[in-house]
Amino acid sequence: MRLNGYAVALLTLSQALGALPVLADEAPGFRPNPALSPPRLASPAPLRLAESLSIEPMARLAPAAAVAAAQIAAMAERNSQRGRPIQVGFARDLASPLRFSVQPRELALQVGRRVGGGYVGRAISGSYVWGTAVAVGDARALRLELAEVNLPLGTRFWVYSLGGEARSFDLRLLRGDRTIVSPVIEGDLIHLEVELPAGVTTEGQGFVIRRVHEILQSRSQLMPLAVKADYCLQDASCYDASDFAAIDDATDGVIQYFVVCGSDTCICSGSLLDDNAPATLEPWLLTANHCVDTEAEALSIDSAFFYRTDSCDSPSSSFVLGPQGANLIATSLDSDVTLLRAVDPGDIPPGVFYLGWTSIRPADGTLLHRLSHPIYTVPSPDQVLPQVYSAHLMDETPAIDCFDDGYPLSHFLYSFNQGGTGVSGGSSGSPIMKGDGRVVGQLLGTCGTLPSRDGCGTDESVLDGAFAASYFLLKDYLSPGAGGACLRDADTACLLDGRFRVEVTWQTVSGSGNGQIMYFNAERAETTESAFFWFFSATNFEMGVKMVDACAEFDRFWVFFSGLTSQGFQVTVTRMSDGLVKVFPANPINTLPTTQADTTFFDCP
């Protein structure tokens, strides 16, 4: 299953609420049996070219404290003004770009030599590898940004620290502006390695690195939560089922993630959601619109599960890396909601819990519960925190409201905190749950004008986007019909308002693959009626598909497609309402295509 509309269901919930009846639906939550779950596949190991050749970093930046004082001050000012989401890092320009340009006929002669901003090597398999490294003084964590990416499908990337575990990624993280932001590597040195697929590179392919993203906090450098006597953030490891009946499950379904917000790095929380599609187990992630509201941001997330202290108020903690990169499924300002789907379901670690949810709004006075991953902001310096717990009491007649600011009760849950617990920046997007663990909303933040407000919500209103309001936007994914939900991603188009899924495969004498959706000027080449695909290079259009709703006159949906290639390709169209599939005859290899059309197969409701 793949992602619905980059129109991204930007339907306003106010319109939906006025047009649709109130729905009552829910999912119970689910923990997959690890013994029955497919194992997480280990990615091939990198050659570690930079280490094996003892390569010095190709670029070095001085500590941010010495040369980026203005950026640090701007970040502190933004966070002090309760900017949403909270910022934890920023991009820093390299003095000279590190560029790699493929020259296929020269690669064999370049092995062991510097090429552009790195060095070329050769793997045992015979494929060619290019590696580089960037050092940033006193950095806690780094990400590289690859720009002008034009590489063949099958290219593999790794980033790693010296002697550290390598993290792999691929072109599924390619954003519309042809950039890729790498996974996070902790420490002051980041190595990049790129392995090219054998036999499919062409002259001039490559990329350039112009900047590195420095993160000023990391998950491994923690401040103990023993400060809780003076502050409202409470270690979730100190709570049990007597406080929150579903805490043992819920704590395994909440994530913390870094996300590139503009040229900065921000931090938020989210949760893994169950759905009502028993034949599949989709990696749905619920978070806030103000944290992620574009596909580019979604593709940049780097998340962690099980991020918590080893015991109550322990100074040590652990975590397991989760999804890196997601597709944007649906988003709306109206209830500050975003639904994502992890790019790679294999990034979901064993032992997680898929949180349940309910479309029924909780009653006034209901005790609600939250698990989140805030930033500790008092005193300075800021610190990333592992999982914290907070309790909230629903308040349908809040003394402090933000109705005039666009946060009405129809779309938001108002509550006030209980028992000295609270939230802080970084908690944004975290789930708020009933006692049975079912999600009823996700955190926007706090609202109030009292001089004594502390940012924790202890003397303010806490605002969560109401899941009951968001459900009109999310129901097609969380409770899909017989054919499932059309999920738009890199190689899937969703036409006619998501009623049809369109996929293309290609074939040559030496290989095959999935057609990828084109981008023009960072805009996805897809409308509700048509989509355009590339096969071998992101800048080279190969074929297009168009669908027409001809129900009014002919009681049929029409399909048309053709190509600008002599390679083989095949189009598959699926009707989502019932799963009806048509696989069109393939265009043979080395044959110029003619326009194909079908105006009879898909009848109308």
**Residue 221 pLDDT:** 64
Residue 371 DSSP symbol = E
Average pLDDT, the chain: 86
Q: Within a domain: residue 230?
A: yes
**Residue 479 pLDDT:** 85
The model's pLDDT over 332-376, given as tens digits with 9 standing for 90+, comes to: 999 999 999 999 998 999 999 999 999 999 999 999 999 999 886
Query: Model confidence at 521, in pLDDT bands (50, 70, 90)?
Result: confident
Q: Within a domain: residue 346?
A: yes
Domain boundary among 447, 474, 501: 474
**Residue 380 pLDDT:** 42
Q: Note whether 23 and 99 are same-domain residues.
A: no
Distance CA 395, CA 461 (A): 9
**Residue 304 pLDDT:** 96
Distance CA 423, CA 429 (A): 11
User: pLDDT over 70 for what percent of the chain?
Assistant: 88
Query: Model confidence at 430, in pLDDT bands (50, 70, 90)?
Result: very high
For the segment 294-300, the average pLDDT, to the nearest whole number, is 95
CATH number of the domain to which 179 belongs: 2.60.120
- With 90 as the cut, is the pLDDT of residue 81 above it? no
The answer to which of 136-150, 182-196, 325-339, 510-524 has the lowest mean pLDDT is 510-524
**Residue 98 pLDDT:** 95
The model's pLDDT over 153-205, given as tens digits with 9 standing for 90+, comes to: 889 999 999 888 899 999 999 998 999 999 999 999 999 999 998 877 788 88
Residue 274 DSSP symbol = -
Q: Note whether 422 and 356 are same-domain residues.
A: yes
The model's pLDDT over 431-486, given as tens digits with 9 standing for 90+, comes to: 999 999 999 999 999 887 655 555 565 678 899 999 999 999 998 889 876 667 78
Distance CA 288, CA 502 (A): 29
**Pairing state of beta strands 128-136 and 59-61?**
parallel
**Residue 382 pLDDT:** 54
Residue 237, token pair as written in the block: 């490891």
Q: Note whether 263 and 324 are same-domain residues.
A: yes
Which amino acid belongs to residue 47? L
Q: Within a domain: residue 482?
A: no
Q: Note whether 139 and 157 are same-domain residues.
A: yes
**Residue 3 pLDDT:** 31
- With 70 as the cut, is the pLDDT of residue 315 above it? yes
Residue 40, token pair as written in the block: 């997480």
Q: Note whether 521 and 560 are same-domain residues.
A: yes
- With 80 as the cut, is the pLDDT of residue 107 above it? yes
- With 50 as the cut, is the pLDDT of residue 20 above it? no
CB burial of residue 487 (10 Å; 0-12, 13-18, 19+): buried
Q: Within a domain: residue 479?
A: no
In terms of C-beta distances under 8 Å and separation of at least 24 residues, what long-range contacts does 449-454 make, across chains too? Answer: 449/400, 450/400, 454/232, 454/378, 454/422
Whole-structure pTM value = 0.84
**Where are any strands of DSSP class E within 401-483?**
412-418, 431-433, 439-447, 461-466
Nearest partner of 393 among 430, 371, 421, 429, judged by Cα: 421
Q: Within a domain: residue 423?
A: yes
The model's pLDDT over 207-248, given as tens digits with 9 standing for 90+, comes to: 999 999 999 888 876 544 444 434 688 899 999 999 999 999
CB 239 within 8 A of CB 228: no
**Residue 513 pLDDT:** 87
CATH number of the domain to which 461 belongs: 2.40.10.120
Distance CA 518, CA 532 (A): 6
Distance CA 456, CA 424 (A): 5
**Pairing state of beta strands 234-235 and 206-215?**
unpaired
User: pLDDT over 90 for what percent of the chain?
Assistant: 58
**Residue 51 pLDDT:** 66
**Residue 446 pLDDT:** 87
Q: Note whether 307 and 393 are same-domain residues.
A: yes
Report the SS3 class of residue 226.
Answer: helix
Q: Note whether 193 and 286 are same-domain residues.
A: no
Q: Note whether 323 and 440 are same-domain residues.
A: yes
For the segment 500-511, the average pLDDT, to the nearest whole number, is 90
Q: Note whether 261 and 145 are same-domain residues.
A: no
Cβ atoms < 10 Å from Cβ of 248: 12
**Residue 424 pLDDT:** 84
Q: Note whether 235 and 325 are same-domain residues.
A: yes
Q: Tokens 């590898």, residue?
A: 129
Query: Which are the contacts of 262, defined by CB distance < 8 A and separation ≥ 6?
Result: none
Q: Within a domain: residue 81?
A: no
Domain boundary among 188, 215, 242: 215
Residue 201, token pair as written in the block: 């590179």
**Residue 36 pLDDT:** 63
Q: Note whether 211 and 299 are same-domain residues.
A: no
Q: What are the φ/ψ torsions at residue 66 (nearest 5 degrees)? A: -90, -35
Q: Within a domain: residue 208?
A: yes
Q: Within a domain: residue 480?
A: no
For the segment 114-128, the average pLDDT, to the nearest whole number, is 86
**Where are any strands of DSSP class E within 385-517?**
388-394, 412-418, 431-433, 439-447, 461-466, 493-495, 500-507, 512-514, 516-517
**Where are any strands of DSSP class E within 419-540?**
431-433, 439-447, 461-466, 493-495, 500-507, 512-514, 516-517, 519-520, 523-524, 530-534
- With 80 as the cut, is the pLDDT of residue 5 above it? no
For the segment 417-421, the average pLDDT, to the nearest whole number, is 84
Q: Tokens 């939250």, residue?
A: 370
Q: Note whether 442 and 569 are same-domain residues.
A: no
Residue 294 DSSP symbol = S
Domain boundary among 474, 507, 541: 474
Between residues 334 and 497, the one the model is more confident about: 334
Please state, in angstroms and as integers, the Cα–Cα distance from residue 589 to each residue in 511, 562, 571, following that order: 11, 14, 14
- With 50 as the cut, is the pLDDT of residue 296 above it? yes
DSSP 125-145: TS-EEEEEEEEETT-SEEEEE
Distance CA 457, CA 49 (A): 50
Which amino acid belongs to residue 266? C
Supply the range of the domain harboring residue 302: 13-30+220-474
Distance CA 436, CA 248 (A): 11
**Pairing state of beta strands 383-384 and 357-358?**
unpaired
The model's pLDDT over 542-573, given as tens digits with 9 standing for 90+, comes to: 999 999 999 999 999 999 999 999 999 999 99
Number of domains forming the structure of the chain: 3
Alpha carbon 530 to its chain centroid, in Å, reads 25
Distance CA 434, CA 431 (A): 10
For the segment 269-279, the average pLDDT, to the nearest whole number, is 90
For the segment 78-102, the average pLDDT, to the nearest whole number, is 89
